[in-house]
Each structure stands twice: as C-alpha cells, then as structure tokens.
Amino acid sequence: MKKPFEPSVKVQVLNKESIQKIHNATLEVLDKTGVAINTEEGRKLLLDAGCKIKDNNVITIPSKIIEKAIKSAPSSVTLFDRLGQERCILEGWKTSFGTGSDCPFILDRETGEKRQCTYNDVAHGALVCDALEHLDFIMPVGIISDRPKGVADVYAVDATLKNTIIPVVFTAHNKDTFQSSIDLAVAVTGSLEKLQEKPFICLYDEPTSPLKHMPEATDKLIHAARLRLPVIFTPCPLAGATAPATGAGMLVQANAECLSGLVIQQIINPGAPFIYGGVMNILDMSTTVAPYGSPELHKLCAALTDMAHHYGLPMFGTCGCSDAKTVDAQAGTEVGVSVLMSTLNGQNLIHDIGFLESALITSYEMYILSNEAIGMAKHIASGVSVDKDTLAVDVIDDVGQAGNYLEHEHTLKHFRREFYFPGIFDRANYDGWERAGRKTMDIKLKERADEIIATHQPEKIDKTALKYMDQVLQRLKD
C-alpha cells in the first residue's frame, strides 16, 4: 500500500471564529431560505425527516437535522485500487491527487492543436496517469466524441478502468448510466458486495447554484446512498453570477448546497460515505469566463477545506489547472501555486490536474508537469525533521573549519531523504543542457508522454471480467 501523505507545514484561510460564523449563517440560510428539491422522492425524504415545504419545491431544513447528518457521516473514506489495495485514505489532512474530468478537447500529441477527445484519448490518458508516481486517482479525462452521446460517459469509464489500476472518480449523465458504470466495476470485482467492501469507483455529483437540486443529480445521490457507494457532492458556484460576490457569502451558499445534499444521503443510509467539496470560482467580469487559474478559486477552495476539517468530513479539492491554452509559463505558474496551496491546506481528494483553457482542454503534458509540482510541494510541506541526529552538532564539530561534508558518512546517510530529486526538471549547467540536445520543457513533457504510452503496461483485467464489461457496453446498444 502506498503511504498517504500528510503535510507537516499547514495553511488555513479561516480562523475558528470565522468558521463558526459561516456555519451559523449556513444554518440560517437552510432554515429560512431553503433549497429547491426538484424530485418528488427527494422532497418526500426530507419532509418525512422533519423538514418543511416553503413554496413550490423549496424545502427548509432545521439545524438539528443538519447537525445530525454531519455527525452520522464518516470522517474517513477510503478508495481502493482495482487490485483491492488502499490507495486514497481521505481523512484529516491527508492528500491524494488526480485529474479533472470530461474535457471536450485535448491537445493533440503530434500537432499540439486542440481537437475533440476520443475513446483512445481517454484510454491513453489513464495509461499516463497510471505511470505517474504522485497521481493517486483519475477522472475520465475527456468527453468521448466517437461513441453514442447519450452513453459516452459509460464508455469513458470503460476506457479508464481498462488502462489503470488507480481509483476512478466519474460523472454520469443520469441514474441509468451511473448504474451501467457500476456494472462495469462489478464485472471487475465479481460482485456488488466486493465493490461495496473495497470501492475503487466514486461518483462525482453536484447541486446547481444557487440552492437547487436538479432531478438527475438527486436521483444519482439517492442511488449511491442506497448502494452505500462513495459519492462526492460538490457545488460549483460562480461569485457574482450564481453566488454572492463576497467570499464569505459564497462560502455560506456553497456550504448550504453541499450540506443539504449530505442530509438527503444520510437520511437514506446513515454512515454512507460522503465527500464534501466545492469548486469555488468567480465569473471574470472582463471575459465572462470561469477562470481555473484564478487565485480566488484556490483561496476559497482552501477556506471551504477549513470548513470540511471543522466538520470532520473528507474534502474534494482542486489544483493543477490553468487558463492557458497550451503548456507554457502561465500554465506552469498556475499549476505550481495551486498545487502548493492544496497540499499545505490538507485537501483530501484533489482533482482537476491537467485542465487547460478553463476546463475545456485536457493535456497529458499537464499531468506530467503537475506530477513534478506535486513532488516539490510534498517536499516543502513535509517540513524539517529536528532531532539529535539531524541537528548534527557532533558532525559540525567533526568537520570543523578544515573538513568537508561531501565525504562525511552523515551526508551519505541523509541526503536521499533530505534532498528533492526532480523527475523531469533540468538542473544541468548550460553546457550539459546543450550536450543533452537543448531540449525545452515542452519537448521533454511530450517525449515522456510518448514513452509512457509506448511502454507502460498496467495490471490487466482478466479475460472473464473483460467479457462481462463488453456485455455491459453491448446492452447500451440494444
């Protein structure tokens, strides 16, 4: 089992007083304003639990019901890999990193141009991620354009499962395609019970801002709860458009949207695995774009993580994404800042690695660049070990003013752990860089992606399971 990383250096945005104020304001919003529940089943569940209907489909939720749901939800959720080993332990400040999901476009590896994603692109994306040391889970990276549109989400899960062993977090068009993706995972494990015991898939679901639960999202949330499969329930408000322009107001609304989903899930199945979260973005008033490299997104996501830590709920975070159109200096800057922030902030399941053009383009090169940034961020966040051996008083005395540390056994003992060794970044001098072919970072990233796709071989799914997976896909055509 890969040991989960937990930062020693920690960063918070909110203090205890601010957290309590946001929590209290959230309770007031849910009890006074309420949320629109646009399915009869969802409304009945809440009304039977003691909530009240305000008007039309709007349900108000008393604070005692919210507090009960928070207490019943597990503080730790584990996602396993396809081989049944623990991979993402989502609790406290432990971090796991993975891609973003469902980009309509990809940067073509040969031309560098933007084009629509295909089944093979999603498969190759999974292959690249499987090979990268610091990526712990994957979301199917593209919206597949060469399969039937209504079930393309299921084909994306199929392409991903077959090319990686790491956990797969996925979206679904509706309850039916969600069930088909579950069927693919059951084909791998052999039974639903085994999948429930060691889940290696997780549904990504979301409310609609402001304060709405649409039928498809609610149906999927209820279905996941009844099957006791893990679900991420993540609002995606836009400050100034679908949420207040102030950070605090946005946090209150997003918290209300997320916790109201938690209430529905916990009413159905107390203790079912729930992952809190929110992509806390702004509407750029000059472009009307939702910018994924904005400092606001990462600051407010960190603040929402502070709320998750307060509640003891696993957090779905965001990093490794950019508004750049190609892997350039802007992309590198936005990746580096966001990866470091999410690591120091202790976000648990951190997604969106690989996004370009504000979540419209995916890029294998971005996965590799972000993988390097994660390694660096972990090294910074690991802090400094201070004990008798590392203080090195006797070593300093031994070397004195005339010796050197290069030949000392203390250096040999410690440098591999104390020093960070880059995987793809260049530290040679200019002459060494010239001798190596004067390769710029874009060339090195492309070559690394090509190498992985040509040579990497993840653990294969056995033939019997593949046969059952093909039957699931065949049913989509019938």
Each residue's pLDDT tens digit, 58-105: 999 999 999 999 999 999 999 999 999 999 999 999 999 999 999 999
pLDDT at 478: 77
At residue 215 the predicted structure's pLDDT band, cuts being 50, 70 and 90, is very high
At residue 119 the predicted structure's pLDDT band, cuts being 50, 70 and 90, is very high
pLDDT at 55: 86
Q: What is the pTM of this model?
A: 0.96
Distance between CA 276 and CA 368 in Å, rounded?
27
In the chain, % of residues over pLDDT 70: 100
pLDDT at 2: 78
At residue 153, the 3 state secondary structure works out as helix
pLDDT at 271: 98
Strands (DSSP E) along 191-341, which ranges? 201-205, 212-213, 231-233, 238-239, 274-277, 281-282, 315-318
Would you say residue 272 has pLDDT above 90?
Answer: yes
Residue among 287, 296, 317 nearest 245 (CA): 296
Q: What is the mean pLDDT of residues 109-131?
A: 96
At residue 445 the predicted structure's pLDDT band, cuts being 50, 70 and 90, is very high
Pull the structure tokens for residue 249.
Answer: 């107001």
The DSSP H or E segment spanning 303 is: helix 295-311
At residue 477 the predicted structure's pLDDT band, cuts being 50, 70 and 90, is confident
Domain ranges of the chain: 70-381, 388-418
Would you say residue 373 has pLDDT above 80?
Answer: yes
Q: What is the mean pLDDT of residues 445-453?
A: 97
Q: Are 478 and 182 in contact (CB under 8 A)?
A: no
Would you say residue 56 has pLDDT above 90?
Answer: no
Q: Are 135 and 99 in contact (CB under 8 A)?
A: yes
Distance between CA 274 and CA 87 in Å, rounded?
17
pLDDT at 314: 98
Would you say residue 342 has pLDDT above 80?
Answer: yes
Would you say residue 1 has pLDDT above 80?
Answer: no
Q: Tell me, what DSSP letter sits at residue 138?
A: B
Mean pLDDT over the full length of the chain: 97
In the chain, % of residues over pLDDT 90: 98
At residue 456 the predicted structure's pLDDT band, cuts being 50, 70 and 90, is very high
What topology is assigned to 70-381 in CATH? TIM Barrel (3.20.20)
Residue 334: burial class (beta carbons within 10 Å; 0-12, 13-18, 19+): buried
Strands (DSSP E) along 72-184, which ranges? 77-80, 86-90, 96-99, 105-107, 114-116, 168-170
Distance between CA 290 and CA 300 in Å, rounded?
14
Q: What is the mean pLDDT of residues 232-260?
A: 98
At residue 290 the predicted structure's pLDDT band, cuts being 50, 70 and 90, is very high
Of 477 and 413, the one with more pLDDT: 413
pLDDT at 3: 84
Distance between CA 302 and CA 311 in Å, rounded?
14
In sequence order, what are the residues at sequence separation of 6 or more whose Cβ sits closer than 8 angstroms to the Cβ of residue 60?
30, 31, 32, 33, 34, 51, 52, 53, 54
pLDDT at 220: 98
pLDDT at 376: 98
At residue 145 the predicted structure's pLDDT band, cuts being 50, 70 and 90, is very high
